[in-house]
Amino acid sequence: MKFLIINGPNLNFLGIREKGVYGDRSYSDLIDLIEKKADELNIEVETFQSNGEGEIIDRLQRAYNEKVDGIVINPAAYTHYSYAIRDALASISIPKIEVHISNIHQREEFRHTSVTEPVCDGQISGHGFEGYLMAMEALIKLCTKN
C-alpha cells in the first residue's frame, strides 16, 4: 500500500511560524514521525510540500497516474478558498483525509470554512502532528474496506 502525504504553504516553516499555534517541532520532525509510522504500519509513504497551488494540483494529478492508494492532505491556507485544489481532489477517486494541526473550527472565522473537506473522506483538525498519524490509520481502514 502506498500513501502520499501533501503539505501546503508555510508548513515547511513549522517550528518557526506561530509556535503558540503550531508548536516548536519542525517540518522535518513531522516527516520523521510520518516515516516511523509508515514503517510500523508496513506501508510505503511519500511526502510532498509546496507553497504553490499549481504544484499541489500537479502532484495530485500525478498521484492518480501513479496509482497511489491513499492521500493525506493539509492544504494549509488553501483549505479556505482554493476551488482549484478542491476540483483536483474531487477528480481523483483515491481515499483522502484532510488534516489540520490546529483546530480550524476554534480559530478565526475565515478558517471555519473548508472548501476542500467536502471532497475528502474526512477531516482531522486540532490533534497536532498526531493528526497525520491518525489519518494514516483511517486511510488503511478505508483502503481495505474498498
**Cα–Cα distance, 83 to 65 (Å, whole number):** 22
Residue with smaller CB distance to ligand DQA, 69 or 97: 97
User: How far is residue 20's CA from residue 94's CA, in Å, rounded to a whole number?
Assistant: 34
Of 69 and 75, nearer to ligand DQA (C-beta) is 75
Number of residues interacting with ligand DQA: please give it, by CB under 6 A. Answer: 10
Minimum distance from residue 106 beta carbon to ligand DQA (Å): 11
Nearer to ligand DQA, 2 or 127 (CB): 127
The pattern of x and - marking residues 16 through 35 that bind ligand DQA according to CB under 6 A reads --------------------
Separation CA 70–CA 122 (nearest Å): 12
Give the up-direction half-sphere exposure of residue 145: CA atoms within 13 A in the CB hemisphere: 10
C-alpha 144/C-alpha 131 separation (Å) is 20
Distances from the Cα of 75 to the Cα of 36, 54, 86, 88, 144, angstroms:
22, 12, 10, 12, 25
Active site residue 22: yes
Footprint (CB under 6 A) of ligand DQA, residues 34-93: 74, 76-77, 79
Q: Mark residue 79 as left, alpha or beta (left: phi above 0; alpha: psi -120 to 50; beta: remaining).
A: alpha
Which residue in 78, 100, 127, 132 is the catalytic one? 100
Q: Taking the complex as a whole, how short is the minimal distance between the CB of residue 43 and ligand DQA, in angstroms?
A: 22
Residues contributing to the site for ligand DQA (CB under 6 A): 10, 74, 76-77, 79, 100-102, 104, 111
Residues with catalytic function: 22, 100
